[in-house]
Chain A
C-alpha cells in the first residue's frame, strides 16, 4: 500500500487507485463531474485538479496514479484559481435556468458554483444557444444548453448498458450528445440511469419533468419488486411537512420518482427502467374494501368468515405469494402450522414485450421474493396442472391466480391489494397492504436480504398480511 500525502497528511492508498479515488476514500473532497467510479476515466471536465507539491501548475486527479510518497494539495491557491476558471468556463454558455430546472437542488454545477466560483460570469458576450427539449427517447429529453459534455451518459451506454445508443456529434462548443443513427436509446432497458448520472440538468426524465422540486421530496429506502434481482432503490415522495393543501391530495401519497440506492452486493449504482416505473405497479387502483362473495363487509367480519372457512376445511391448499416479505412468509408458515398444502405462486409473469433477462441486472423471474418463499415452502404452484380434486379450500395470497383452475366445490379466500375482477369471485376477500405501506425484507435470487421501509400510511380498511395470519389461523372462539 503506497503512502501518499494529501494536504500534508499521510494517507494509505491502494496500489491501483488514482489520486482522486484515494482522496475521496480518505475524506478529502475533490470536486468531479466527468469521473464516475463505475465508468472509464474521461478526464474532460478538468475540475478535479490538484497541485503536486513543488510544481507550479494544477493537474487532474482522476487520471493521476498513486505513486509512493507523492505529495498533493487539494486546496492550494493554484488549485482554487484553476477551479474557479473551470467553473467560469463551464457556466459560460450554461443558461443558469435553475429556477425551472428539475436538477436544481441536487446539481453538481450549482453546488460547485457556490463552493468554488461564487462570482458572476466575466463574459460580456451573449450565451451560445443550443437545442432545448431534444427527445433522446420516449423516456428522456436532452437540454443541450445545460449539457457540460462530461460524456458520462455516452460512456454509460458503451460500458455498462452496452446499447451504444449515444455519441457526441459536431465539435468544439457546437458539440452535442445525440443518439447514434443505428441504435436507439428506447431499446436500452437501463437508459434512465443516465438521468442520474448527468451531473447537470441536461438529461431529464419525461415522467418526472416539472413534476416536483427535489427539496420538497424525501427518499425512502426500498427494494424493487420488479424481478428476482431485488435492486435497492429510493422511492421519492413528498415530505409530510411540505404537504400540498391546494392541489390534488393524492400528490401527497404518490411516488414521484424512483432512483437507485447504491448497493454493491446487488445492483451497484444502477437500476433498470422497470424499477423507475414502480408507480405503474404500486399505483394501480387499490382494493380497500373487504368482501364476501362480492358483497362489501367490514374487515373484521371478513377475517372472521375466513377463520371459519379455515377451521372447517379438511384439505386446504395455500397459494403463497412470491411478493410476500420474509416476515410475512415466516408469519404465514408459523401460523398455519401443517394444516395447508403450501405451493409457491409466481404472482407476476413476464409481460409481452418485457425485457426478459440479461447479464447486468434483469432476471427472468419477475417476482421479488421467490427465493425466500421456495426456501420456506419448497413446492411450486404449476398453473398448467390442476389442483388436487379433493381440495375443499384454496387460500390465494396475492394476484395472478386464474379462478378457472379452481377445483369444483372448493371455497376460496383471496388476499389481494389491487382492484381486480377476481376479488368478487372469492368466498372471502381481504384487502392487504402493499410494500410501500410496511416494513420488510426480500431475499434476492443470490440470497442477499434487502430491507424496505414504509413510505405511506396504510388505510384502516386494509389488513397487514403479517398480523393477519396470526388471527386467520387462530382456532379460538370457533365452534367445533
Chain B
C-alpha cells in the first residue's frame, strides 16, 4: 500500500508554519477556488462525498453532522474547531497547530463557507503554549492578508475567528462542555437531546469538529471528495495522524493511510519497542480505548473496523506502547488517577465512580487489596457504561475493563502477594 500523505506533506523548517511558506506550498488555493468557482452547497457536497469521519475519537461521519445544519434557515450558525486535545497519549492536533496552523485556518474558512458561518471559534487547550502562539500568529497573518473579516478575497463571504483558550479541563474537550466553556460557563457537558447541531453555542446550531478532521477539508476541496475517498479504506477514507509514545524507539507523530498494518507501523515505521524488549501491550487510540496485547495486533490493520474485531478502536490516534516488564496494576492506577482528577463532577456515576475506582486501585497498589476488588472495579465500570451525560464515564470503564480483561492474573497476583509480579517500574531505560 502506498503511503499517501495529505497533511504532513512538507519538511518542517523554522519558517514552514508561516503564511509565506504555506502559500508557497499552494496554501489558500482551495479557498480561492471555492470562493470563485463553487457554491457553499458544492463545498459541502465535496466533503460529504469524501466520506471523511471524525478524528477526535468517535469517528462520526462529518457529512452527516453537517447535514443537520441548514445554512439558509435564517439563524446564526457557529463552527468550532476542537483543539482541546487532552486525551492522554494524544498529541497529533498539536502537530497541525504548531507546524501547519494555516492549513487549519484555510479548512475552517472552507467549512464556514459551506455552512455559511459568520463566526468561527477555535477552542485550544490551555496547556498548549507554543501551539497557541503559532496559531495566534497565524490568525494575525491571515487577517492581515484578508483571509478573515469582511469581503474575503473580494467575495461577499465574511467570517471572523475567535480563539478561546481552555483552562486545563479534560472534559472541556467534549464538544458540549467546550461550548459551555466558550460561553464563559462551567465546563459541564450538556444532555442530548438537543444535539449541538440543533442547539449548540449560544443556543444556535453549531458544528464542532476536531482539528485534524477539519484540516483535511482544504485537500478535499482542492482535489475533490472522490479523490479523498480513494485514499485509505473504502469505508474509512483518508489518513490518520498517529501520535505514538511510551516504550517505542522513535516516538512522535506519524501520518499513515487508514488500513496500514499495525505490526508494520510499530516494528518498522516506529523502530520497534524501546531497547528491543518484548511488546506487552498497546493502547491504540488514547487511554480511553481498550488495550491490545502483542498477540492481538499481529493480524490487525490501523482502522476502526479491524480494531473493533479485537474490541478496541482507533480513538483519537494517541498510541501508547507498553514494553514487557511494565506493571499493569500501576499502569491502571495512573489511568484512574487521571480519570478521578478530570471527572467534572456533574453526574452521579462518574463523579462518585471515578473516585471509587481510584481509591480501590490505590489500595491494591498499597498492598491492601481484597479479592473482591477486581469484581468491584468491573462493577463500577459497568455502572458507568452508557449512564453518564458525556462519554467520559464510559471511557474510564473501557480503560479499566480492557486492562482487567487482558491482565487479570497480574491483579490477582498483586492482591495476593501485596507486590507486583513485574519489576514495578514503568520506566524502560534505553539499552544503548
Interface residues in B339-366 by Cβ distance below 8 A to A read: 340-349, 351-356, 359-360, 363
Taking a contact as CB atoms under 8 Å apart, the answer to whether B345 and A173 are in contact is yes
Jot down 23 A-B pairs with beta carbons below 8 A, ordered by A.
A41-B191, A43-B191, A44-B346, A44-B347, A46-B348, A57-B386, A63-B191, A85-B349, A86-B387, A88-B383, A89-B348, A89-B349, A89-B353, A89-B383, A93-B355, A123-B376, A124-B363, A125-B363, A168-B186, A171-B343, A172-B345, A172-B351, A173-B340
How many Å from the CB of B61 to the closest CB on chain A? 23
> Does chain A have a CB within 8 A of B74?
no
Bitwise interface map of A from 42 to 68 toward B, beta carbon under 8 Å scored 1, else 0: 011111010000000110100101000
Assembled-state Cα–Cα distance A170/B340 (Å):
12
Q: Does residue A174 face the partner (Cβ distance < 8 Å to B)?
A: yes
The minimal Cβ–Cβ distance linking B333 to chain A, given in whole angstroms, is 15
Residue A297 interfacial (CB < 8 Å): no
B352 in complex: contacting residue of A60, A122, A173, CB < 8 Å: A173
> Which single residue of chain A is at the shortest CB-CB distance from B188?
A44
Q: Does B250 contact A (CB under 8 A)?
A: no
Q: In the complex, are the beta carbons of B387 and A58 less than 8 A apart?
A: yes
Q: Quick one: which of B169, B356, B360, B379 has the most chain A CB within 10 A?
A: B356
Residue ranges of B at the interface with A (Cβ–Cβ < 8 Å): 169, 171, 186, 191-193, 340-349, 351-356, 359-360, 363, 370, 372-373, 376, 379, 383, 386-389
Q: Are A46 and B387 in contact (CB-based, < 8 A)?
A: yes
For the complex, what is the distance from the CA of A343 to the CA of B73, rounded to whole Å? 62
A173 in contact with B343 (CB, 8 Å): yes
Is A149's CB within 8 Å of the partner chain B? yes
Q: Are A63 and B193 in contact (CB under 8 A)?
A: yes
The docked-state distance in angstroms from the alpha carbon of A99 to that of B41 is: 66
Interface string of A133-150 (1 = CB under 8 A from B): 000000000000000110
Please pick, from A44, A63, A123, A173, the residue contacting B354 in the complex, using a CB distance under 8 A: A173
Q: Is the CB of B389 within 8 A of A43?
A: yes
Contacts of B354 in A (CB 8 A): 172-173
Q: B169–A171 contact, CB under 8 A?
A: yes
Report how far A112 CA is from B352 CA in the complex, Å.
18
Q: Report the minimal beta-carbon distance from B388 to chain A, rounded to whole angstroms.
A: 8
What are the residues of chain B within 8 A of A93 when measuring CB–CB?
Answer: 352, 355
Contact A125 B356 (CB under 8 A): yes
Minimum distance in angstroms from B167 CB to a CB of chain A: 11
Contact A172 B355 (CB under 8 A): yes
Return A275 CB to nearest CB of chain B, in Å: 32
> Which applies to chain A's interface (DSSP): helix, strand, loop or mixed?
loop
Minimum C-beta distance from A411 to chain B (A): 67
Q: Which of A86, A124, A125, A172 contacts B349 (CB 8 A)?
A: A86
Question: Are A149 and B351 within 8 A (Cβ)?
Answer: yes
Bound-state Cα–Cα, A175 to B360, Å: 20
* A173 and B355 contact, CB distance less than 8 A: yes
Which B residues touch A361, using CB under 8 A? none
List the interface of chain A (C-beta within 8 A of B).
Answer: 41, 43-47, 49, 57-58, 60, 63, 65, 82, 85-86, 88-90, 92-93, 122-125, 128, 148-149, 167-168, 170-175
Q: Which of A58, A90, A122, A167 contacts B348 (CB 8 A)?
A: A90
Inter-chain CA distance A178–B188, complex, in Å, is: 17
When A and B form their complex, which 3 residue pairs have the shortest distance between CB atoms, in order from nearest? A175-B345, A172-B343, A173-B355
Contact A167 B186 (CB under 8 A): yes
Q: How far is the CA of A174 from the CA of B376 in the complex (A)?
A: 22
With A46-B387, A122-B376 known as contacts, the answer to whether A175 contacts B351 (CB < 8 A) is yes
Q: How far is the CB of A295 from chain B (nearest CB, A)?
A: 68
Given A89-B352, A125-B360, 4 new contacts (CB under 8 A): A45-B348, A46-B388, A49-B387, A93-B355
In the bound complex, residues from chain B placing their C-beta under 8 Å from that of A167 are: 186
Question: How far, in whole Å, are A89 and B350 apart by their CA atoms in the complex?
Answer: 9
In the assembled complex, which residues on chain A have CB atoms less than 8 Å from the CB atom of B342?
171-172
CA distance A276 to B231 in the complex (A): 70
Nearest neighbor of B340 in chain A, beta-carbon distance: A172
Give the residues in chain B near A124, CB-CB below 8 Å. Answer: 363, 370, 372-373, 376
The docked-state distance in angstroms from the alpha carbon of A57 to that of B388 is 12
CA distance A170 to B352 in the complex (A): 14
Tell me the complex Cα distance, A45–B387, Å. 10
Q: Name the CB-closest residue of A to B370.
A: A124
Inside 8 A of B348's CB, which chain A residues have their CB? 44-47, 86, 89-90, 148
Task: Give the docked Cα–Cα distance between A49 and B388 (Å).
Answer: 11
Residues on A with beta carbons closer than 8 Å to the beta carbon of B387: 46, 49, 58, 82, 85-86
Q: Tell me the nearest residue of chain A to B379, going by C-beta.
A: A122
Shortest C-beta distance, A300 to chain B (Å), equals 66
Using CB atoms, name the residue of chain B closest to A169: B186
B128 to chain A, nearest CB (A): 20
Shortest B392–chain A CB gap in Å is: 10
Q: CB-CB < 8 A to B352: which residues of A?
A: 89-90, 92-93, 173
Name the CB-closest residue of B to A87. B348
The CA of A50 and the CA of B344, in the complex, are separated in Å by 24
With a 10 A CB-CB cut-off, give which of A45, A93, A124 has the most chain B CB atoms. Answer: A124
Residues of A close to B192: CB separation below 8 A: 63
CA A56 – CA B367 in complex, angstroms? 38
Chain A's nearest CB lies how many Å from the CB of B371? 11
CB pair A123 B356 closer than 8 Å? yes
Q: How far is the CA of A266 from the CA of B169 in the complex (A)?
A: 44
Q: Are A45 and B349 in contact (CB under 8 A)?
A: no
Which residue in A44, A122, A128 is a CB contact (below 8 Å) of B355? A128
Per the bound structure, the CA–CA distance linking A458 and B224 in Å amounts to 90
State how many angstroms separate the Cβ of A124 from the closest Cβ of chain B: 6
Measured in the bound complex, the distance between the Cα atoms of B328 and A415 in whole Å is 84
Question: Please, which residues of chain A bring their CB within 8 A of the CB of B353?
Answer: 89
A429–B268 alpha-carbon span in the complex (Å): 105
Q: B345, B346, B349, B386: which contacts A170 (Cβ < 8 A)?
A: B345
Flag if A171 contacts B344 (CB, 8 Å). Answer: yes
Contacts of A174 in B (CB 8 A): 345
Please give the distance in Å from A142's CB to the nearest CB on chain B.
Answer: 16
State the CA gap A46–B353 with chains docked (Å): 13
Closest-by-CB residue of A relative to B376 is A122
A82-B352 Cα distance, complex, nearest whole Å: 15
Residues of A within 8 A of B363 (CB): 124-125
Q: How long is the Cα–Cα vector from A60 to B345 in the complex, in angstroms?
A: 17
